[in-house]
C-alpha cells in the first residue's frame, strides 16, 4: 500500500469511527410543539462526580447556545424564532453512567385543539369522525357511556395536522342505546367531542345465577367488571363465563352489558 493510499485509508477509518461514536451518543429526546415557554432540564453530576452530565442541547437539529454546566438549566426556545404551534424536537446529549431529565415536559406537550367537522356511527358500531385544527400529535380516546360513567373502549393516534383528518374505529355494541364520544388529553387540558348514539338490536344479557361457587355465568358474551365490597376491581374482560375460584367468599358486584352494581354472593 502506497503512502497516499494509507493516508486515505486512515482518514476513512477515522471518519467511520467518528460517525459510529456520534450514532452511539446518549441522547434524551422529547417531541412537542412550541407554546412560548422554556423547557427546563435537571442535570446531575457526571459519572466521576466532576462536571455535569449533559454537554450539548439541540433544538430541531440546531445546537443551542444555552449554558448546560449547572445542576439545572433552561432550554431557551425563543432563540430559534419558532412560531406558536411549530413542531419541536429537543435532544439533550449526555455522558455515560448518568442521565438528565426534563423537569416540565408539558411546556412543549401539545394541547387538544381539534374541531369535529362531522361524525357517524353505523348500525354495526363503526365510529367515524373528521377533524380539523389539530395542533400536535395526541391520541384520541374512544369512550362509551355505560355503568354510570364514561368507559374507555379504544384509542386512535391523531395525525396532529391542522387540515382535515379522517378517523374510524370499530366499536363493540351492548344492548339498547350506545352513546360514544372521542377525547384528547394533553398539556393539562382535556377536550371532548359531542356525543353520538346508535341503537343496537342485541338482546339484553342476563346474569344466570346471583349465588355462585367457582364461576359467574352470563347468557351471552359481554364486557364486564367485577369488584369487591371495597370498590376494588378484581376481574374485568369480555366473555360469558368469569372464573372466580380464586376469590374469597363474600359479596361482590358486577357491571355487565348495560347493568351496573348487580350483587353477587360468592360461596
Instruction: Give the span between the Cα atoms of 157 and 178, in whole angstroms.
Output: 23
Instruction: Give the span between the Cα atoms of 188 and 258, in whole angstroms.
Output: 32
**pLDDT score at 85:** 83
Instruction: Give the span between the Cα atoms of 11 and 261, in whole angstroms.
Output: 74
State percent of the chain over pLDDT 90. Answer: 82
Decide if pLDDT at 150 tops 80. yes
Closest CA to 64 of 27, 93, 36, 97: 93
At 41-80, the pLDDT tens digits run 999 999 888 899 999 999 999 999 999 999 999 999 999 9
Residues paired with 140 in a beta bridge: 156
**pLDDT score at 14:** 33
At 184-205, the pLDDT tens digits run 999 889 999 999 999 999 999 9
Rounded to a whole number of angstroms, the CA Rg of the chain reads 27
**pLDDT score at 21:** 37
- How far is residue 205 from each of residues 217, 255, 257, 259, measured CA to CA in Å? 10, 11, 6, 9
| Average pLDDT score over the chain | 91
Decide if pLDDT at 139 tops 60. yes
Instruction: Give the span between the Cα atoms of 187 and 137, in whole angstroms.
Output: 12
**pLDDT score at 5:** 45
Residues paired with 263 in a beta bridge: 253
* Cβ proximity of 30 and 105 under 8 Å: yes
Q: What is the CATH number of domain 115-200?
A: 2.60.40.10
Average pLDDT over residues 127-135: 96
* Cβ proximity of 2 and 32 under 8 Å: no
pLDDT band of 20, cuts 50, 70, 90: very low
**pLDDT score at 6:** 40
Range of weakest confidence among 45-49, 130-134, 244-248: 45-49
Q: Where are the domains of the chain?
A: 3-107, 115-200, 211-266
Decide if pLDDT at 130 tops 50. yes
* Cβ proximity of 52 and 66 under 8 Å: no
Q: CB neighbours (10 Å) of residue 52? A: 19
Instruction: Give the span between the Cα atoms of 119 and 171, in whole angstroms.
Output: 14
Instruction: Give the span between the Cα atoms of 89 and 5, in whole angstroms.
Output: 41
Amino acid at each position: 500500500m502506497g503512502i497516499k493510499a494509507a493516508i486515505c485509508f486512515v482518514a476513512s477509518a477515522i471518519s467511520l469511527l467518528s460517525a459510529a461514536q456520534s450514532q452511539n451518543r446518549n441522547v434524551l429526546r422529547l417531541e412537542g410543539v412550541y407554546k412560548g415557554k422554556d423547557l427546563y432540564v435537571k442535570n446531575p453530576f457526571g459519572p466521576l462526580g466532576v462536571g455535569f452530565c449533559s454537554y450539548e442541547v439541540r433544538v430541531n437539529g440546531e445546537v443551542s447556545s444555552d449554558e448546560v454546566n449547572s445542576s439545572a438549566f433552561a432550554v431557551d426556545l425563543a432563540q430559534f424564532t419558532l412560531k406558536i404551534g411549530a413542531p419541536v424536537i429537543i435532544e439533550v446529549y449526555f455522558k455515560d453512567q448518568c442521565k438528565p431529565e426534563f423537569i416540565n415536559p408539558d411546556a412543549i406537550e401539545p394541547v387538544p385543539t381539534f374541531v369535529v367537522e362531522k361524525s357517524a356511527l353505523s348500525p354495526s358500531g363503526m365510529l367515524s369522525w373528521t377533524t380539523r385544527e389539530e395542533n400536535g400529535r395526541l391520541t384520541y380516546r374512544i369512550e362509551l357511556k355505560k355503568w354510570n360513567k364514561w368507559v374507555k373502549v379504544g384509542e386512535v393516534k391523531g395525525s396532529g395536522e391542522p387540515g382535515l383528518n379522517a378517523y374510524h374505529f370499530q366499536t363493540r355494541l351492548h344492548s339498547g342505546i350506545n352513546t360514544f364520544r372521542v377525547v384528547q388529553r394533553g398539556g393539562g387540558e382535556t377536550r371532548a367531542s359531542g356525543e353520538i348514539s346508535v341503537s343496537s338490536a342485541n338482546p339484553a344479557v342476563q346474569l344466570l345465577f346471583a349465588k355462585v361457587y367457582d364461576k359467574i355465568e352470563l347468557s351471552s358474551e359481554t364486557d364486564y367488571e367485577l369488584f369487591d365490597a371495597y370498590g376494588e376491581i378484581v376481574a374485568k374482560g369480555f366473555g360469558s363465563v368469569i372464573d372466580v375460584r380464586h376469590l374469597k367468599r363474600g359479596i361482590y358486584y358486577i357491571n355487565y352489558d348495560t347493568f351496573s352494581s348487580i350483587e353477587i354472593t360468592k360461596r
